[in-house]
Structure 1
Amino acid sequence: MVPPQHSLVRMLSTWTLRALPAWSRAPLQDDPQATVAAILQAGYAGLQVEAGDPLMDAGFRAGAVMHAAGRVIAPAQAHELVSRHKALGFGLTTIHLGTGFESAAEGHALVEAVLEAAAAQRYPVHVETHRATLTQDPRRTLDLVERYPALRFNGDFSHWYAGCELRYGDWERKLDLLQPVFDRVRYLHGRIADCGALQPAILDEGVPHVRDFRALWTRAMAGFRAHAGPGESLYFAPELLPHAFEVEGRMVYPAYARQRRGVDGRTEDDCDRWQQGLLLADIAEDCWEAAGGA
C-alpha cells in the first residue's frame, strides 16, 4: 500500500491583515464571516490566529483549518496554553518560547515543559525560530535539538537572516549545519528579510535575499518530506506585521512594515502586505516543487 503523500498547506496569519492601508486589496469586510470566506476564496486553507482574534469564531464556523499562536516564558504556562488551545478546537499551536535571556538550565526546563505538555495532550506545538526567544541564536537552537530531538519548529528564518546576519560568512556551510533544524520544521512563517530589515517589500524576485530564502525554504521542505510521518502536512503562513498596532490600550511600534510618505503627507506602509502574502505563498509553492513536492 502506498503511504499518503505529504502536502503543503497555505495558511494566513491574521497579523498580515492588521492596520493595512486604505488602498490595500485585502478582502476585509465588516462581517467577519464574509472576510473569512474571501480569504479562503483567495487560496488559503485557513487562518493562524491568537486566541480571541476577531476572525477566530468565523474561521471555525466556516470550517477553515485553524491554528493558534502563543507565548510561553515560564514552564508552568505550557500545560495551560496547550489545554486552552486544544479545548478551543485548534489543530496546533506555534509558540515564542522564552525571552532569550535564559540560562542553560532555565532553557532546558522550558523545552521540557513544552514537550511534556504536547505529549501528554497529544497536541502539536512548534517552537518558532524568533528573536528575543530561546531560539534567537542558531547555535543554541542546534544544541537544543541535540539534547531534545523531539523538538519541532515553526521556521521564521527572517530572524536569523537579519538578526544574526546569517549571510555573513560561508553560506553553504551554514545551510549544512542547520540541517537538524530543517529536518524538524513542520511550519513556516512567510517573511523574507534582507541583511538590514526583517520585512522589506519584495519588488524583484531575482534579488539575492529572495534567492537565499528560496534555499532556506526548500531545505526545510526537503527536510520535512524526509522525516515527517505519512500524510503529514507542512503549513506555510505569510505573517507580515504592521508598523504599529494597539495592545491593551497602548500603541507599540515593532516597525516590521517599512514606511513611506504618502501623497497626503502622512506616513503609510510602503507596500500592500495582503498582496505580498500572496506572492510569498506562490514562492513557497515553487520551493515545494523544488523539494520534490507533488
Structure 2
Amino acid sequence: MRIEVFAAHWGNNDLPPEVFIDKVAAAGFDGIEMSLPLDAALREEWTDRIAKAGLQLIAAQWETVFHSDFELHRAALAELLDNACLARPVLVNTHTGKDFYTQAQNAELIDLAAAISAKHGVPIVHELHRSRFSGHPMLLLPYLAQYPELPLTADLSHWCCACESLLEDQPHTLAQVLPLVRHVHARVGHAQGPQVADFRAPEAKPALDAHLAWWDAIVALRRAAGAERMTFTPEFGPAPYTQTLPYTQQPVSDAWEQNVAMLQLLRQRYPTD
C-alpha cells in the first residue's frame, strides 16, 4: 500500500501558485490539498500547474461554513462539490453540515455528497470537525447507524478538543470510526485545543503518541482491506491555530516547518509496501 502525503494550502494562501507549488515539491510532498476556485479558468490554472509539477491533488470544500441557513448551505455544498470533482482529484475532503442541523437535514447533505461522488466517480469523504455534523463522537454515531459505510477523514485533533481528552475512555467509539477512515489530517491536538504548539516537544509526547496510535490502526486497517493507497495531510495551521504570544501576536512556532517535520515522521513510520 502506498502512503501518500499531501501539503495543505491552508496557511500558504498568500503565495502565488507557482511559488507554493515549487515549495511543496522541494519539501518532498506527493501532492497538495486545497480548496479550488469556482472560476473554471482559475481552477484549471491550478490543476495544470499541479500536474506539471508531478504532484497529485486532494480537493477541499470548507466554505459551506459561511452558510448557516440550511437551503443556502445545501446549494453551496452542491456547487462546491461539483466544482471540486471537476478537477478529478484523488478525493474530495468536505466539511459537511452543521452541529445544530437536524439529523434529517445533515442526512440530506450526506446523500447529496454521495450522489455527486457517484456522478463524477470521485470519492468524497466527510471530515471529523468541530461545528459540523461530525464534531463530537456522540453527534457522529447516529449517522453511522444510518450510513454504516460513511467515508470519513480523521482529524481527531478536533475530538480531543471537543471531548477534553485524548479519547482514552472511548475505545468503543474509535472501534466504530477508524475502519471508515479514508484520509487523515495529521495534526496533533490535545485536551484543551486542536493543535499543540510543537508536536516534537517533550510536553506534547502524550498527545503525539495517542495520535500515532490512531494513525497506526488506520493504516493497518487499510492494509488489511487491500487498499492501494492511504493519504495523509499534515495540517498544522496558521494563527490562531498556531498559538501566539500576548500583545505581540507572534506565533510560537512555524506551521510550515511543523508540516514538513510531520511529513518526515510519516515517511519514516509508514514506508510504502
Instruction: Tell whether the structures are fold-level matches, with TM greater than 0.5.
Output: yes
Query: What is residue 53 of structure 2 aligned with on the other side?
Result: 62
Give the secondary structure class of the aligned counterpart of 1:200.
coil
Residue 10 (structure 2) aligned to one of 4, 9, 15: 15
Structure 1 pair 150/75, CA: closer, same or farther in 2 (3 Å)? farther
Amino acid paired to 1:68: A
Query: What is residue 105 of structure 2 aligned with on the other side?
Result: 106
Structure 1 residue ranges (4+ consecutive) displaced by more than 6 angstroms after TM superposition = none
Residue 187 (structure 2) aligned to one of 185, 191, 196: 191
For 2:175 and 2:90, the matched residues in 1 are separated by 26
Give the secondary structure class of the aligned counterpart of 1:68.
strand
Q: Does the 8 Å contact 2:12/2:20 carry over to 1?
A: no
Give the secondary structure class of the aligned counterpart of 1:160.
helix
Q: Does the 8 Å contact 1:33/1:62 carry over to 2?
A: no
Give the secondary structure class of the aligned counterpart of 1:268.
coil
Structure 1 pair 185/287, CA: closer, same or farther in 2 (3 Å)? farther
Amino acid paired to 1:271: S
Which structure 1 residue ranges, 5 or more long, are not aligned? Answer: 1-5, 20-27, 244-254
1:51 equivalent in alignment to 2:36: yes
Q: How many aligned residue pairs are there?
A: 257
Report which of the two has the higher share of strand. 1
For 2:75 and 2:13, the matched residues in 1 are separated by 31
Deviation at 1:32, TM superposition (A): 3.4
Query: What is residue 213 of structure 2 aligned with on the other side?
Result: 215
1:236 equivalent in alignment to 2:232: yes
For 2:242 and 2:142, the matched residues in 1 are separated by 32
For 1:144 and 1:122, the matched residues in 2 are separated by 23
For 1:175 and 1:217, the matched residues in 2 are separated by 14
Deviation at 1:34, TM superposition (A): 4.4
Which structure 2 residue ranges, 5 or more long, are not aligned? Answer: 65-69
Alignment of 1:1-294 (within 5 A): 6-18=1-13, 32-52=17-37, 56-57=46-47, 58-71=49-62, 72=64, 74-167=73-166, 171=168, 174-202=170-198, 203-204=200-201, 207-227=205-225, 229-231=226-228, 233-243=229-239, 255-260=240-245, 266-288=248-270, 294=273
Structure 1 pair 161/114, CA: closer, same or farther in 2 (3 Å)? same
Deviation at 1:63, TM superposition (A): 3.3
Q: Does the 8 Å contact 2:8/2:234 carry over to 1?
A: yes
Q: Does the 8 Å contact 1:67/1:91 carry over to 2?
A: yes
- Deviation by residue 1:135-171 (Cα, 9 ceiling, x = unmatched): 0011232331232123111111100011222336xx1
Deviation at 1:260, TM superposition (A): 2.4
RMSD over equivalenced CA pairs, Å: 2.6
Q: Does the 8 Å contact 2:84/2:92 carry over to 1?
A: yes
Structure 1 window deviating more from structure 2 (66-75 vs 44-53): it is 66-75
Identity of aligned residues (%): 23
Answer 1 or 2: higher relative contact order, Cα 8 Å, separation at least 6. Answer: 1
Give the secondary structure class of the aligned counterpart of 1:271.
coil
For 2:211 and 2:227, the matched residues in 1 are separated by 26
Amino acid paired to 2:103: A
For 1:18 and 1:37, the matched residues in 2 are separated by 14
For 1:110 and 1:213, the matched residues in 2 are separated by 29
Deviation at 1:183, TM superposition (A): 0.8
For 2:82 and 2:193, the matched residues in 1 are separated by 36
For 1:175 and 1:141, the matched residues in 2 are separated by 15
Give the secondary structure class of the aligned counterpart of 1:112.
helix
Structure 1 pair 34/107, CA: closer, same or farther in 2 (3 Å)? closer
Q: Does the 8 Å contact 1:142/1:178 carry over to 2?
A: no
Structure 1 pair 288/241, CA: closer, same or farther in 2 (3 Å)? same
Deviation at 1:11, TM superposition (A): 0.3
Structure 1 pair 237/194, CA: closer, same or farther in 2 (3 Å)? same
Deviation at 1:214, TM superposition (A): 1.0
Query: What is residue 251 of structure 1 aligned with on the other side?
Result: none
Structure 1 pair 138/36, CA: closer, same or farther in 2 (3 Å)? same
Structure 1 pair 189/159, CA: closer, same or farther in 2 (3 Å)? same
